[in-house]
Structure 1
């Protein structure tokens, strides 16, 4: 049977042939056809631009995990986009680029601490070291062709919303010179670990020996035979202590303000322990099918802890018992030391720390553990409990500046409508509401065309940072696409819906273990009424957040239009670009079997104002 030529298929066959007719003579016979001049409106309509998304610009602050993930997703999900990523550091990677202290590694399993759609499958350790994580994120910037979008060694001094132009004016310093960059949208992905915090007790500057924060670890530091003071038992301090012993420190005085809860892993016994993978194990998951099974199994084990984080539930009580048993064994069943290291507060207010080797190090004869407040520093050491203890080196693992909006916002001011700053907005005692008012953990009322990732009420229970940012970035992309398509000049969440979201946060705060214990911290804030509120967490599980963020509630936003008197002005000339240009005018047709009926005509249409449209069905990236 002869094949059918799809370009012909008898098109035009079977019609009356009019080629031999003098058509001009025919039309001249009729007076009613003498005046067929186009109306002024026909000209006006056809002179308008095509229906499609106008060009927009986006500036992202921060080139760490969140900024890179957001840049990759927006570059693929938003048409007509000019993208710029600013970072004050000399290389991408955020904390994994700046922290090079001994033993720095992630406490989230390697295979879950990466992009869901573009993983590295040959991690050598269950928990990757900092340099390997930085290399991964650097490679993804290059792989997705975004290196030229990143402007490193650029320190943002201020980001200010300019109402007349409906743009963000971002003042940046580079090589000692300042310039102002302008963008339609501004996204803060700077993270919370920005400004190193040092001891507040007197005399720290007078100490004559080396003293530094781990983020500034000296490259030529030799600790062999030295007496070292390690201040702090946060996520960094507990990693450093075992390394000091390995590096040959003669003695370590470990000063902590309070005890810390130490666990098997951040995700409990279901997650892998701190082990290296054999080459055989790495090879076993290299096929895409096998890797997907492995990744799915791993992520499933990290979920399911929501109820156990609510104070007093059976799961929460069982968790305390497990932590106590683990800590007792790891201090060598030393009753005196065990009593000292167990915190006086219940688990929740501070981050659970896996800390392999930390408790074991505390039991060593050349490590002394001092719990309480340092009195002061001297030229030669530290005064604690009335006694001066000489040391050669002080490592101030005392965290980062937080509170009063710091940590929740970058180390520069973000100024929204009416001169109101995000730092004030996220400083409960100074804010308009008396608490940090967020909208869905991605934006805030009064800050048009502004979004943030991994900050106030952003973090997903049992989820990992990459999947969290992927959800947030996808949501942000939808909002930007709507603004592009409908000629919306600015968009920001209304106050009432933000208050409704905040009600969920208040309710969670009453139940969560995070708010109990009476010690405060980065996870919480004290509002103007004196109540402790959850500051960091999303009020539900990861599947809960994925479901909520999938479809924006467009009724929750304030809109300002480029043409406020004509909301449908963006309809343009009644055509899209493809109507007047060669290309696939049947982009809406799907190959049989390529899309499930339940997904048919869902997804979104890639429709730049000056290019052809493409259907992007749910779950399918036709541009990959």
Structure 2
């Protein structure tokens, strides 16, 4: 751990503190050094390593569903991606190499849980309180750590507490951090004698061979991991997959000239012909971003959605068993929820060992799960009787807790109010360009509300936010200004424009519920807004 800038025992000072060691934190660290020549900063990371989402998610089959050349930092391209859609481990290795290339290995402070960030109006500094975790405990979910804390006491979780001060504070806390909890309406978890595993905290020691597995969810993670459970490496005896609503499933695109050409020749071309690498990335970015035409309310957008939906329904009909055709037909517009880019989930539904159902999980016993018709059950299954299915392992692929931004981080601004209180008072999460808020001087947010749609590369919007923040940090770090803060009228005006625009988008009128939209406020926005 770097001890530069210490101000006495248990207190340290940095010009800039970055919270989070994933894509956002690493991008900000690189640009602080590249653009501003600033080296007096650190990254506070709760996990035991850098990489964020791509380090902590290790479930079978995890991979990016955005083409690799576009899902990478523009100023630090990787020429030799192994596939067009990189596996999670390779993305994590890429981020580690970026840190090495920019000589930032001394910047991350790992196993550091940020408890609170408070603005001190007298010193014009942020005071950041952290607790050092025992190695490895930062990789657990907040609920798992809390359970250890309650049963074994603070010494089983924490080593010491440190108060940092900094001139500028950056939150690079991602939204896909905390696993969604066990469904509150499902009783009997304590009775269950098998393993309960969340896809976001995979247990690599779990033995699936010959086991009866119940998978809760049919989102992106579930679509990647379920086929793997049926392969010889895992060898599950039976998989029962529970679905609330069918996703729109898009056949995964192939690179120009095919996968074999890309995997064999693209690393060589990108390594030795830099112009080719830049041009290829630009082409991939253009094609990916053109998808945004699907999400508007114009006649043209609706026509494009209708045409694409017909093609995808035809693909589904040709790919999955006929018994699943009705329950896999979405009743909402494409784009309202995040799409699944699939090459293996639909085909695996032909395997006799898997059952897909819209029956709801009612309760859990020692070695079984009770299913019954519920509010989301498809009409074709409404008349089915309540039944039990054997279960040795339950896999929760039910997503992440994304309803509260930056939770459980407590951020107190210049008015003495918390970030969450400000959001509540304003009617929902909102930031200026997803990056700043009045009352929180010298603080910048990455991955903030109204920043990303989930339908394209998050890295594009992320780099735009970093670029915006860097320009505003420059005068403060140069000593030309003491503080920088967006004005409240600008925040209000910007949010009104965003909300007006988003009322006409598919996320609000597409006929589904989704995690893009908070009660009374729309979350996503075009990354170029």
Give the shorter-chain TM-score range.
0.7 to 0.9
After TM superposition, list the pairs within 5 Å mapping 1:486-501 onto structure 2.
487-501=480-494
**Pairwise CA distance, 1:80:** 4.8
- Which deviates more from structure 2 when the two are superposed, residues 176-185 or residues 274-283? 274-283
**Matched residues in 2 for 1:162 and 1:271: separation?**
55
Specify whether residues 110 and 139 from structure 1 end up closer, same or farther in structure 2 by C-alpha distance, changes over 3 A only.
Answer: same
**Pairwise CA distance, 1:272:** 9.2
Do structure 1's residue 328 and structure 2's residue 310 form an aligned pair? no
After TM superposition, list the pairs within 5 Å mapping 1:86-105 onto structure 2.
86-105=44-63
After TM superposition, list the pairs within 5 Å mapping 1:142-161 onto structure 2.
142-161=100-119
Q: 1:303 touches 1:463 (CA, 8 Å); kept in 2?
A: yes
Specify whether residues 373 and 345 from structure 1 end up closer, same or farther in structure 2 by C-alpha distance, changes over 3 A only.
Answer: farther
Deviating beyond 6 angstroms after TM superposition, the runs of 4 or more aligned structure 1 residues are: 268-276
Match of 1:190 in 2: 173
**Matched residues in 1 for 2:503 and 2:457: separation?**
24
Match of 1:395 in 2: 395
Match of 1:536 in 2: 524
CA shift digits 1:101-146 (9 cap, x unpaired): 1101111111111111211111111111111110000011011011
Match of 1:207 in 2: 192
**Pairwise CA distance, 1:81:** 4.8
Specify whether residues 276 and 170 from structure 1 end up closer, same or farther in structure 2 by C-alpha distance, changes over 3 A only.
Answer: farther
**Matched residues in 2 for 1:219 and 1:491: separation?**
46
Match of 1:177 in 2: 160
SS of alignment partner, residue 105 of structure 1: coil
**Pairwise CA distance, 1:276:** 8.0
After TM superposition, list the pairs within 5 Å mapping 1:375-524 onto structure 2.
375-385=362-372, 386-403=386-403, 405=404, 408-426=405-423, 431-459=424-452, 463-485=456-478, 487-524=480-517
**Pairwise CA distance, 1:410:** 4.2
**Pairwise CA distance, 1:209:** 0.4
**Matched residues in 2 for 1:486 and 1:63: separation?**
27
CA shift digits 1:73-118 (9 cap, x unpaired): 1122224551110111111101111111110111111111111121
**Pairwise CA distance, 1:274:** 7.2
Do structure 1's residue 279 and structure 2's residue 264 form an aligned pair? yes
**Pairwise CA distance, 1:71:** 0.8
- Which deviates more from structure 2 when the two are superposed, residues 452-461 or residues 348-357? 452-461
**Pairwise CA distance, 1:344:** 2.6
Do structure 1's residue 236 and structure 2's residue 236 form an aligned pair? no
SS of alignment partner, residue 239 of structure 1: helix
Q: Which of 90, 96, 110 is the aligned partner of 1:132?
A: 90
Q: 2:437 touches 2:485 (CA, 8 Å); kept in 1?
A: yes
Q: 2:121 touches 2:414 (CA, 8 Å); kept in 1?
A: yes
CA shift digits 1:25-53 (9 cap, x unpaired): xxxxxxxxxxxxxxxxxxxxxxxxxxxxx
**Matched residues in 2 for 1:219 and 1:461: separation?**
28
**Pairwise CA distance, 1:446:** 1.7
Specify whether residues 255 and 275 from structure 1 end up closer, same or farther in structure 2 by C-alpha distance, changes over 3 A only.
Answer: farther
User: Which protein has the larger Cα radius of gyration, Structure 1 or Structure 2?
Assistant: 1
Q: 1:508 touches 1:534 (CA, 8 Å); kept in 2?
A: no
What TM-score comes out, normalization by structure 2 length? 0.84
Structure 2 gaps, min length 5: 1-12, 134-158, 373-385
**Matched residues in 1 for 2:85 and 2:196: separation?**
29
Match of 1:303 in 2: 289
Specify whether residues 147 and 281 from structure 1 end up closer, same or farther in structure 2 by C-alpha distance, changes over 3 A only.
Answer: closer
CA shift digits 1:232-281 (9 cap, x unpaired): 1121111111011112111100012221111124xx78889877843234
Do structure 1's residue 315 and structure 2's residue 283 form an aligned pair? no
User: RMSD between aligned alpha carbons?
Assistant: 2.2
Specify whether residues 373 and 461 from structure 1 end up closer, same or farther in structure 2 by C-alpha distance, changes over 3 A only.
Answer: closer
**Pairwise CA distance, 1:323:** 2.0
**Matched residues in 1 for 2:277 and 2:470: separation?**
28
Q: Which of 355, 363, 369 is the aligned partner of 2:350?
A: 363
SS of alignment partner, residue 434 of structure 2: coil
SS of alignment partner, residue 114 of structure 1: coil
Structure 1 gaps, min length 5: 1-54, 528-532, 546-624
Specify whether residues 80 and 119 from structure 1 end up closer, same or farther in structure 2 by C-alpha distance, changes over 3 A only.
Answer: closer
SS of alignment partner, residue 258 of structure 1: coil
Specify whether residues 356 and 367 from structure 1 end up closer, same or farther in structure 2 by C-alpha distance, changes over 3 A only.
Answer: same
Specify whether residues 275 and 434 from structure 1 end up closer, same or farther in structure 2 by C-alpha distance, changes over 3 A only.
Answer: farther
Match of 1:374 in 2: 361
SS of alignment partner, residue 278 of structure 1: helix
CA shift digits 1:474-520 (9 cap, x unpaired): 11111011234464322221121111111222122221111124443
Specify whether residues 251 and 450 from structure 1 end up closer, same or farther in structure 2 by C-alpha distance, changes over 3 A only.
Answer: same
**Pairwise CA distance, 1:193:** 1.4
Q: 2:333 touches 2:511 (CA, 8 Å); kept in 1?
A: no
Q: 2:209 touches 2:235 (CA, 8 Å); kept in 1?
A: yes
**Matched residues in 1 for 2:250 and 2:99: separation?**
34
SS of alignment partner, residue 305 of structure 1: helix
